[in-house]
Copies of this chain bind each other. A is one copy, B any other.
Amino acid sequence: MQIGLILVGFGNVARRFVRLLDERAARLEGEHDLTWRVIGIATRRHGAVRDLDGVDLTRALESADAGKSLGAHGESARDPLTSLFIRETVAAARQRTPDTPVVMVETTVLDIERGQPAIDHVRAALESGAHVISANKGPVAFAAHELLDVAARHGRAFFFEGAVMDGIPVFNLLRETLPAVSITGFRGVVNSTTNYIITAMEQGGEFGAALAAMQEAGVAEADASFDVDGWDAAAKTAALINVLMDGDVTPHAIDRTGIRGLTGEAVRGAVARDRRVRLVASAAWRDGRLAGRVAPEELPATDLLATLAGQQNALVLQTDLLGEIAIVQRGAGLTQTAYALLSDLVAVRRRL
C-alpha cells in the first residue's frame, strides 16, 4: 500500500528520515507492504513545494542540503500559511486518490513557550483526514489529550515515538507490548547533552568545552538553555506524564532544575564517594497529585542511571503488575531520531 507523505519541517531529521526510508525500502515493502511518495514539503525559511505525483526528492534534498529554497512556490510557508498548506494538500490528495492514506510528518523546531505552531500543524492534518507522526515533542508535551481526541474523532493515528529517547520504543513499548499494564511512575535520564556534559566532567573535562562539543556535533540546541536548564528534559517528562500516566501537564508544570549549578569539582567529588550525579527526570504520585521533576541527583554508582555514559539515555518504568522495567538507549544520533518516524510510519500502516 502506498502512503502519501507531507513533510512539515525539512531539517536534518526529516532529510535523514526520507533517506532512511529509501535505505530500508525493500524491507518496508516486503515485510510491511509499505511504499510512499512525498506529496508536499513545507519549511519555515526555504519555501514549500507540493506535487501530488511525487515531489522530486533528489532535487529537494539537494536544495535543502545547500540551504537553498525549495523553489516551486517561491514563498516561505509561514504559519498560519503552513496549516493552510497542510489542509489544502491533504484535501487535494484525498480527492484525487481517496484510497491512498496521507501521513503528515512533523519535525519543526520545538517551541518551549507554547508548543506552537506544531500543535496547529497536527490539528490541521488530523482534521483534514491525515494521520500524523511527529518527532517534535511540542504537541504531545503541551496538548496530548486534545490532539489524541481529535485523532480519535477523525479515526486517524497520532504517533510520536521520537519525542522521548529517539527511536527506542517508549510509547510504542507500552501501547504495543504491555497491554493492561498501568504505569505508576518513572525515572530516567532523557537528555543526551546534559549527560554528556556531566560524564565529561567526571573524566576531568569542564562544562563549557563539553557543551561546545555537543553543539558542534549538532546534538545540543544552539540555545544552550534548552538543554542545560532542563527544558528539553521537562518537555519529555510532560510528554511521558501525559501519555503513559494519563496526566495533563505542560513542561512549565515540571519542577525543573538544570545543571548550570554543577561544577566539575562537585561531579568528581561524587565519583570519589563511589556515587554519580545525573540529571534525573521523574514522575510520581505525591499526596494525590501527579508530580513531575527534573533535577540533578546523586546516585549510587551501580544505579542503572548512574551507569549511563555520554549520550546514553534510559527510562525506568514503575508498573502496577510487573514491577520495574527499564529500557536503555546506548547509541544516539540522527539515524536514531529519524528511525522514530520510520517506526511510527509502520505503526500507522499496521492500523490501516
Contact = CB atoms under 8 A, between A and B. Distances in A.
Which of A303, A304, A306, A322 has the most CB atoms of chain B within a 10 A radius of its CB? A322
A176 B349 CA distance: 12
A179 B347 CA distance: 9
Contact of A307 (B28, B177, B307, B335): B307
A173 B180 contact: no
Given A172-B176, A178-B169, A180-B27, A329 B325 contact: yes
Give the interface size class of chain A: 35 or more
Interface in A154-187: 166-169, 172-173, 176-181
A330 B325 CA distance: 6
Contact of A304 (B177, B301, B307): B307
A205 interface: no
A250 B301 CA distance: 38
B177 A177 contact: yes
Interface in A179-218: 179-181
A59 interface: no
Contacts of A176: 172, 176-177
A157 B178 CA distance: 18
A57 interface: no
Interface in A310-352: 314, 316, 321-333, 335-336, 339, 342-343, 346
A286 interface: no
Contacts of A329: 322-323, 325
A304 B304 contact: yes
A302 interface: yes
B323 A332 contact: yes
A324 B314 CA distance: 12
Contacts of A177: 169, 172-173, 176-177, 343
Given A176-B176, A307-B302, A325 B327 contact: yes
Closest 3 CB pairs of A and B: A323-B331, A169-B177, A324-B330
